[in-house]
Structure 1
Amino acid sequence: MPNLVRRIVRRASPKVVTAVVLAVALTVISVAAGSGPALAQSDAGFRDWLTARVWPDARAQGVSQATFAAATAGLSPDWKLPDLGKPGQPPKINWQSEFSAPGRYLSEDKIAPLVSIGRAQMKQWASVLAAIEKRYGVPKEIVVAIWGRESAFGRAAIPKSAIRTLATQAYAGTRRDLFYPELIAALKILEGDHIPLAEMKSSIAGALGQPQFLPSKYLAYAVDFDGDGRRDIWQSVPDTLASIANYLKQHGWQSGRHWGHEARVPDTVNCAVEGPEQPYPLTDWTKAGVTRADGAALPGSGGDKRHLMMPAGRLGPAFIVSWNFYVLKEYNESDLYALFVGHVSDRLSGAPPIAGKWNTVAGFRRGDVRAMQERLVAKGYDVGGADGLVGFKTRTAIGLWQRQNGLAPTCFPDAGLIGAIR
């Protein structure tokens, strides 16, 4: 904030302060050349939105006028961000995007470099990681795997102004309801003097620092592990790693329990028994003929509850997982993300690559999947939401439909199946 404004805010009456704050908040940089009248009008709406909606909500959450003024001075929307819609209109989703097979996410060319660099990082930060594992009960390999996946061990560029990014997404993004409270949380971070405004950088999705925490997650789970009085997930590796471990612990990580194992699942086991809502004792999986991928017995005691996880149904590898797998999903709700992190953590300990093969699935689009989901819903199946994404509920619904229609369950869509479900 300019020195003059600081002096005014410090000494002026409340009415004068409010006037200065609103004036500063509405001092917006010029619309970029070539943006056209439509964006100029949207920028004007953005300024009104900051004043009329964001400021009252931020004030109610304890954000001071000085902090708000400094954070929003000269602020304009970043129209180069992805996933933006027109303000005041429903968000748009690209339903024409080609459906992506799960195997691409877990390709060896993505995993092997992280494993190689991750092992070096584990040696460099061995004493810190040992202290973190002792305090939080989360394996160091899991922590390092998340660190690598989120920010390439702190090497990935985090170039965006967090406030501008979050404000743009909260104003015009396709997920405004998600980003609006995160904008308020980011202002609270500034109010608490955790990080200077100029250093508060984020991804294009508004995620902060090396662990890629959204602001509300930073407020709740970031920790000061190096003891310098700041929770610095941008520059401090100890703070970054401990914050990741604390996040998992606070979400229910069960110390001493492995996340899961790749498995051989006989065809006699219905793939529709997948998911967190269908746990079975380890003895049941063993009686059904389920083993580890190498044929060895599944580890654990007989009464331990385990879950089937088949991210590509019968068209890819299968896994038997513990509840810790679903704790990883609390970090990122994708099945593939949790599997990626779990597998990289195993590889850091010397485990081999995934043995099962991923079948190629192509020839349809996300909109085709959504239409199939809508038809399944009309028939009474629970797909977990017709969003064009194939989560475990959609896979289970597909398997149930196939079985009830005399087909061998695959629990995953292909072009022919999408056409058959009517």
Structure 2
Amino acid sequence: MPNLFFRGLSHTSISLSLVLLSACSEAPAQPMSGDLTATTATQPSAAITPASDSAQTPQPALSFAEWRTLLRSDAIAAGISDSLFDRAFAGVTPNPDVIRLDSSQPEFTRPVWEYIEGAVSPARVKQGQRLLAQEREPLNRIEQRYKVNRETLVAIWGMESNFGGNIGSYNVVRSLATLAYEGRRQAFWRSQLLAVLQILQHGDTDPEHLVGSWAGAMGQTQFMPTTYNDHAVDFDGDGRRDVWRSSTDALASAAQYLNVSGWEMNQPWGFEVQLPGNFDYALADPDTRRTLSQWQALGIKAVNSTAASLSPESQATLLLPAGHKGPAFLLMNNFRSILRYNNSTSYALAIGLLSDSLQGTAGIQGKWPVGERQLGRHERIELQQLLTQKGFEPGKADGIIGANTRKAVRAFQQQQQQPADGYPSFELLQELRSL
């Protein structure tokens, strides 16, 4: 039966039992919330990104040399050779730039439409299409093996490292040692550092070529070390899982990760829709899943024929990335698989739209509210504090607009008989201030 909704439209982490020193102990990091705010800084990917928080950096109780000596004993006990440890740590000292980047939180972030515009630029689309043709043979084999669409893999490749052109230049051992010694979330970073030593022990690369982002994300698809150990693959058959120099290994490793994250081959990540007048915007909630036929019954219409072959019983959620004044999207299961790779809604939306553009699909038809003033970090914190004071529950006042904050905003909007889209606008902050 044809889909009437579209009628008429042409890780398991590495196992290391280590006793953490009390001077370096901290609760394990939590994953990032699916925020809608795109930052200008590069974030670690592959689902290992720790949550940003405003906690004070603990002062080390040991000197770096003392800390390294104890780490060396634990690493050797976990199977790392003493000679490898000494080679990896030769000349390593804490990097003050890494601590600065870890503790800094930008006051202002890019609006989602600017982030999307940069992510899906004509130049990136053109280069991605060229590489789809150039890498056709390995992509054919990767698709066959892992059942993940090539356009999505190339989109991730482009977003994470500009197709291998920018894999980072930080010494990963030095960065992670710095964070494990004196950064926030030291237990998390210590686990990543020990995972890096396992990578070196395995022989996939050497300390001299082990570079990445300031936070330890590595290679052309920016895997964190524990994710690498769980999901990186040697697909070109040279005996090494080389995500730094082998685009084939990097793309196959990303495909393996998406495969175990539930990717559905040849299914869309989602698609743009038009909403009817007087729509209940409170339904734009990630916890609200309905079938396509149910969304259709509410008056929602697809903008194009991208998902024309989908079953009316397919489940989807509604996303309003810029509130009710901006474009709307229905999100399918593959969107959640992308979120497993990098738990940022803006990132996942950019990957979806870039993969569509690589196939020649037209861009977003809806208009972004480009004239609206964006909240700075301190204003977002103030908004959360005001919501708490007025009896709503946005969670910790940390400036991160996650699910709890959006739910609290939605409840306040409903109380004020406003469109309950959960979007934290400047006008909403002004209204909270006036009450």
TM-score normalised by structure 2 residue count: 0.79
Q: CA deviation at 1:60?
A: 4.2
| 1:4-153 superposed matches below 5 A | 45-52=63-70, 54-81=71-98, 83=100, 92=103, 94=105, 97-107=107-117, 110-153=120-163
SS in 2 for 1:312: strand
State how far apart, in whole Å, the 1-side matches of 2:353 and 2:192 are. 30
Decide whether aligned partners of structure 1 residues 295 and 395 sit closer, same or farther in structure 2, where only a CA change above 3 A counts: farther
Decide whether aligned partners of structure 1 residues 127 and 170 sit closer, same or farther in structure 2, where only a CA change above 3 A counts: same
Q: Is residue 2:316 matched to residue 1:306?
A: yes
State how far apart, in whole Å, the 1-side matches of 2:175 and 2:307 are. 49
Q: CA deviation at 1:405?
A: 2.0
Q: CA deviation at 1:295?
A: 8.7
Which of 409, 412, 415 is equivalent to 2:420? Answer: 409
Q: CA deviation at 1:171?
A: 2.3
Identity across aligned pairs (percent)? 36
Q: CA deviation at 1:259?
A: 0.6
Residue 381 of structure 2 corresponds to which residue in structure 1? 370
Q: Runs of 5+ in structure 1 lacking a partner?
A: 1-40, 86-91
SS in 1 for 2:296: helix
Q: CA deviation at 1:281?
A: 1.1
Does structure 1 retain, via aligned residues, the 8 Å contact 2:176–2:189? yes
Does structure 2 retain, via aligned residues, the 8 Å contact 1:313–1:395? no
Residue 331 of structure 2 corresponds to which residue in structure 1? 321
Which of 258, 261, 265 is equivalent to 1:255? Answer: 265
Query: Which structure's relative contact order is higher, taking Cα pairs within 8 Å and 6+ residues apart?
Result: 2
State how far apart, in whole Å, the 2-side matches of 1:64 and 1:82 are. 28
Decide whether aligned partners of structure 1 residues 315 and 47 sit closer, same or farther in structure 2, where only a CA change above 3 A counts: farther
State how far apart, in whole Å, the 2-side matches of 1:109 and 1:206 are. 22
State how far apart, in whole Å, the 1-side matches of 2:255 and 2:249 are. 10
Decide whether aligned partners of structure 1 residues 318 and 405 sit closer, same or farther in structure 2, where only a CA change above 3 A counts: same
Decide whether aligned partners of structure 1 residues 105 and 177 sit closer, same or farther in structure 2, where only a CA change above 3 A counts: farther
State how far apart, in whole Å, the 1-side matches of 2:286 and 2:81 are. 43
Q: How many pairs were matched up?
A: 374
Which of 294, 311, 319 is equivalent to 1:284? Answer: 294
Q: CA deviation at 1:203?
A: 1.5
Which of 236, 242, 248 is equivalent to 1:238? Answer: 248
- RMSD (Å), alpha carbons: 2.5
Residue 219 of structure 2 corresponds to which residue in structure 1? 209
Decide whether aligned partners of structure 1 residues 158 and 289 sit closer, same or farther in structure 2, where only a CA change above 3 A counts: same
Q: CA deviation at 1:377?
A: 4.2
Decide whether aligned partners of structure 1 residues 123 and 341 sit closer, same or farther in structure 2, where only a CA change above 3 A counts: same
Q: CA deviation at 1:184?
A: 1.1
Q: Runs of 5+ in structure 2 lacking a partner?
A: 1-58
Residues 291-326 of structure 1 deviation map (CA, whole Å, 9 limit, x = unaligned): 112499865212111111122221321110111101
Does structure 1 retain, via aligned residues, the 8 Å contact 2:99–2:179? no
Residue 55 of structure 2 corresponds to which residue in structure 1? none
Q: CA deviation at 1:411?
A: 2.2
State how far apart, in whole Å, the 2-side matches of 1:293 and 1:222 are. 37
SS in 1 for 2:124: helix
